[in-house]
């Protein structure tokens, strides 16, 4: 199964992407984020991996259904 990362855009929307380079994001260092086209904003937003433990099951399920298209940024 395709592995996705749940991320949060600068506006607080939760969505998911297959494009986030998690291998570079070690525990304790979330990094500067990455420009992704948020499906909720419809715009490129700086997005960071969401802290899944802080999401409700509903937010998580919704985020997994909203998949961002990888940007070339």
What are the two backbone dihedrals, phi and then psi, of residue 71, each rounded to the nearest 5 degrees? -95, 165
Please give the size of the binding site for Zn ion, defined by CB under 5 A: 6
11 sits near Zn ion (criterion: CB under 5 A): yes
Please give the Cα distance from 23 to 60 (Å, whole number): 21
β strands within 1-73, DSSP E? 5-9, 14-17, 34-37, 44-49
For residue 60, give the 3-state DSSP assignment: helix
Interface residues for Zn ion in 43-72 (CB under 5 A)?
none
Stretch that binds Zn ion, among 28-36, 37-45, 51-59, 60-68 (CB under 5 A): 37-45
- Which of 6, 7, 36, 38: binder of Zn ion (CB under 5 A)? 38
In DSSP terms, which residues pair with 14 in a beta bridge? 8
State in angstroms the smallest separation of the CB of 16 from Zn ion: 13
Residues at the interface with Zn ion (CB under 5 A): 9, 11, 13, 38, 40-41
């Amino acid at each position: 199964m395709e592995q996705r990362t749940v991320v949060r855009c600068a506006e607080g929307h939760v969505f998911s992407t297959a494009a986030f380079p998690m291998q570079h994001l070690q525990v304790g260092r979330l990094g500067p984020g990455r420009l992704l086209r948020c499906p909720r904003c419809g715009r490129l937003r700086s997005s960071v991996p969401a802290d899944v433990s802080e999401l409700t099951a509903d937010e998580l399920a919704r985020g997994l259904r909203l998949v961002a298209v990888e940007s070339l940024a």
